[in-house]
Chains A and B, each alone.
Chain A
Amino acid sequence: MLMSEFDFDPWSLEPYGGMWILLMSVVLLVIAVALSRMRSLGLEKDMAIASIRGGIQIMAMGFLLYALFGLEDLLLWTVVIAFIATMVVVGTYTSAKRAKGLPDPARATFWGLALATLITLGAMLGLRVLPMRPEFVIPIAGMVVGNSMNATSLSLNRLLAETRGFRSRIEARMLLGADAETSLRPHVRSAVRSSLIPTLDSLKTLGIVFIPGGMTGMLMGGVDPIWAAQYQLVIFFMILCSGAIATVVSTTLATKQLTKDGVTLVDLPEEDEE
């Protein structure tokens, strides 16, 4: 039986109703919190705060979209663009927190995310893969920005860790006449590579190990499964491409910040306990 045969009511407390599923899914949260407590992971508070914060945000997003889909063209697209810009800005600062120690982390993450989003979304809209409709553009922009943000965080975090850990080796290269950028290059490479591995692994096992959120949503919405699969693949290529752009751009900018005028490495403060 397809889920779409249900008549959804967001406010219903009957089984499968909106309020019901929210309440019932708290069971999963309780399990996660219990595990954290049992193993002394110290994540209980984080889990609770993240769930409440995420919950409020996604519900706000739901209401906004609900209101948005009723708007007229010009206003509609203004709001859509504002929406995507907000995603990029929030992503910028979230990712920048993982790159503490850089003189100006937000600068590196902003250009990475902005270019990645602009290029991938622009290309897919221009090539008429993505229809110019907010119900497509907004969720897909969300996936692109979100995944690019994760990749950017991973790559900068790794780049900083390697710069700290391999400082003497980086300096050894500089002392043999390599400029600062060349001396950092192997570490930039490993940072970018490692940040793209999760996406690549997901792509490799796509359809076998996991059916991603986008496709899940489409299937639940009653879309033709073949078309849903095709579209999911497109989304994955977008994620891969935007991840590559975001990490390459942001690590390039970070590299410039890590070297003082290409002469020497900046002093990195000790890493915070995360």
Chain B
Amino acid sequence: MTKGHVHKLEITELSLELGGRTILEDISLDVHHGETVCILGGSGAGKSMLLRTIVRLHEPTKGRILLDGEPVTAMDPSTLRRRVSLVQQSPAMLEGTVEENIRFGLELVGAGPEVIRERIDASLKAASLDESFLGRRAEKLSGGERQRVAIARAHALCPEVFLLDEPTAALDPRRTMEVERAIQSLKGDADFMMIIVTHDVEQARRLGDRTVLMRRGRIVAEGDSGSLIEDLDPEERARYMGELACMEHEDKEGDVDE
């Protein structure tokens, strides 16, 4: 399997309405090859919906999303989703083993046994998993392991853009570190661009080259991951930190994973 790469993902004046409610409003964002952008925001900010809209799980009401100048709405959805891979929050495992989960997408494109072998090896490594996982039932894995399987099965398809939705939400610190390590190793490969949705300011600092702050469906600030929050005026900053802390709390309460 050969892979090209996207030079630029361009989102222009994007709006999304669902069931009469405005979910995203006037979002404009450019991401370049090799770059990792973190989208930071509290719940209901529209972060996940933005990622879902990029891969056409929702059709935008207004605005455009371009991959190197080509609108995603003009692309075949399967091709789009192979090039732009979304790993959802608490990703659902397919039935069967970890290996079957990774094979699924490869078999759809008619990859031969050797290519499949090779891609499985590479994607296990990329997701910090080892061969012992292959035979395990995916649904029985812990939250952190499922997250990494989801990264592996997406990676197997050689995507050009990686979209990660709250990759460590509801994980304890040790699992969070394991998943972050997998993401860092993906970044090391660097032949793609990545957008990571998170509500964790520290995580955005650790993983992002650039951070975008979202609130109620809009982008409210954008800048360097290290200093974005500090650069906000104190009142704004207090409000965001408060919202984010609330989410942190909800996560802990909902932590039934391990």
Let me know if B78 and A264 touch, CB within 8 A: no
CB within 8 Å for A171 and B92 given contacts A176-B105, A178-B108, A267-B19: yes
Let me know if A176 and B81 touch, CB within 8 A: yes
Per-residue 0/1 for B71-102: is the Cβ within 8 Å of any A Cβ (1 yes, 0 no)? Answer: 00000011101100111100111110000000
CB within 8 Å for A182 and B91 given contacts A174-B57, A174-B77, A177-B78: no
Chain A contact-residue range equals 20 to 34
Taking the nearest CB of chain B, how far is it from the CB of A258, in angstroms?
14
Let me know if A176 and B59 touch, CB within 8 A: no
Per-residue 0/1 for A156-198: is the Cβ within 8 Å of any B Cβ (1 yes, 0 no)? Answer: 0000000000101101111111111010001000000000000
Is B24's CB within 8 Å of the partner chain A? Answer: no
CA distance A172 to B88 in the complex (A): 8
CB within 8 Å for A264 and B58 given contacts A175-B86, A176-B157, A178-B108: yes
Chain B contact-residue range equals 20 to 34
Which residues of B are found within 8 Å of A176, using beta-carbon distances?
A: 81-82, 104-105, 108, 153-154, 157
Is A263's CB within 8 Å of the partner chain B? Answer: yes
Is A217's CB within 8 Å of the partner chain B? Answer: no
A167 — nearest CB in chain B belongs to which residue? B92
B137-169 at interface with A (beta carbon < 8 Å)? 150, 153-154, 157
CA distance A171 to B108 in the complex (A): 15
Let me know if B78 and A175 touch, CB within 8 A: no
Q: Which A residues fall within an 8 A CB radius of B?
A: 166, 168-169, 171-180, 182, 186, 260, 262-265, 267
Chosen A-B contacts, 27 in total, with CB atoms closer than 8 Å, are A168-B92, A169-B93, A171-B88, A171-B92, A172-B88, A172-B92, A172-B94, A172-B150, A173-B94, A174-B77, A174-B81, A175-B55, A175-B81, A175-B85, A176-B104, A176-B108, A176-B154, A176-B157, A177-B78, A177-B109, A178-B78, A178-B104, A262-B77, A263-B56, A264-B59, A264-B77, A267-B19
